[in-house]
Amino acid sequence: MVLTLAKSLRIGAFAAVFVFTLYGFIHGKFSSEKRWYLIDNQKNVQNQQNNRKFEQHKIVLFWHTELPDKSVREDHMESIKKYIAEAHTLYSPIDECGNCSFTMDMSKITDNNTAAVIFLYKFVEPGKMPIKRRNDQLYIYWTKESPSTLKYYHNETFDFEESIKFNSTMGYRRNSDIYTPFLTSVYRTLQIKDLSDNNVTWIPMTKNKWAAAVISNCGATPAAVYRHKLVTKISILSEGRLKTFGKCFRKQISRKMNSIPNLLKSYKFYLAFENSYHCRDYITEKLFQNAFHGNTVPVVWGATKADYTSLAPPGSFIFAEDFNSVEELVTYLNYLDRNDTAYLEYFRWRTMRVENFSIVKQTKDLCQLCKIIQGKAKYNISDPNHVSKFLSGRNSLRSQTLQKKVTSLKEWFFEEENKECLNFRGKSYF
């Protein structure tokens, strides 16, 4: 019995020593690996910071001039200011995209570091362009309007192309050189969250109203005229449950940031109807800002279903043209109004990993432009062969700025557009 006990003690002591030694080896190995990982990671961060230090600072200038209508100019100027402020904060271009800054200071046109000049469509006019064009500056044509609005409301003909040439296009169309969709911080906010366990069942409990529409353009385009009639008919069929706002209905809403999303938080549906019909990729803040920030289900009309499917989160919208009549659409909205389970299906996208959506992962906007002028990216890196029929010299800008030119904005913007975009004359409801 004594021998057995002694033997057990020896075995136990040996086992303790073995376990302690094994633990020390494993812990030391893992700690060592962790230390080396941290050192390597610190080196990578330091290398990135050093690379940015050695990058030459590049300036992007937003060109602007006087306009006949001062209020229109003020609106555009304010919009650009907000755009620049967002670029310097939310996009963090220096950290993520390169050593670039954005300005409206017109004196920077002669600064040696000014690598690109952006011209909003309203500020493109012979006689009001820079007096002397530098060979090392990229000229970019930027528009946020659809072709139908440019044609019917602004009477754009692109006759200025005879004397003014651009290197690149910038806009909401995916085949633009610098792609600037109407995405807002909803995507950037949701990207940093893990939404896989997100609970959206609370949303119906915040809704006590049926639907809303906000329309201020009643007749600038044929599609805008049709939209007004369409919303009016839905209002009649809903027996007044559709609440209408905007200039077209003499119910002005504040233009402050998020005023419309805040209004929509108590509504189950929002009519996100565009003022253009089937214009390529023309999906505006009505969807990306108003509806998604407002926690409501958008009923969309304007772009093609293919464009909505490509650009919006999966299952996030109701496509009006899927229905045979306005009556059928209203009937479906009434069904969703009574069925929370079916209604919540339109919020399932929030339980997905938003950062994996293709539209979110794509490098775009002023971040893409900064990478281009720093020589880090090609034009439209998501689609390097886009509109190759019209453009040439698709290399990075470090030494290739002048090799790339837009041969015809008119052809690219008008003639390559969907026919119904520029020829829409209205039709029977759906």
Amino acid found at 221 = T
Structure tokens at 130: 């820079």
As to burial, measured by CB atoms within 10 angstroms (0-12 exposed, 13-18 middle, 19+ buried), residue 23 is: exposed
State how beta strands 297-301 and 318-319 pair: parallel
Consecutive H or E run containing 62: strand 58-63
Q: Work out the angle at residue 110's Cα, subtended by the Cα atoms of residues 104 and 111, and round it to the nearest 5 degrees.
A: 80
Contacts of 120 (CB under 8 A, 6+ apart): 62, 63, 64, 76, 80, 142, 143, 144
Nearest to 320 by CA among 196, 394, 211, 179: 211
- On whether the CB atoms of residues 397 and 138 are closer than 8 A, the answer is yes
Contacts of 259 (CB under 8 A, 6+ apart): 253
Length, in residues, of the chain: 430
Residues 92, 213: Cα–Cα separation, whole Å? 34
- On whether the CB atoms of residues 373 and 99 are closer than 8 A, the answer is no
Contacts of 202 (CB under 8 A, 6+ apart): none
Q: 284: number of CA atoms within 13 Å, CB side?
A: 16
Q: Active-site residue among 33, 145, 161, 416?
A: 145
416 flagged as catalytic: no
Dihedral sign, Cα of residue 257, residue 259, residue 262, residue 268? negative
Catalytic residue numbers, as ranges: 145
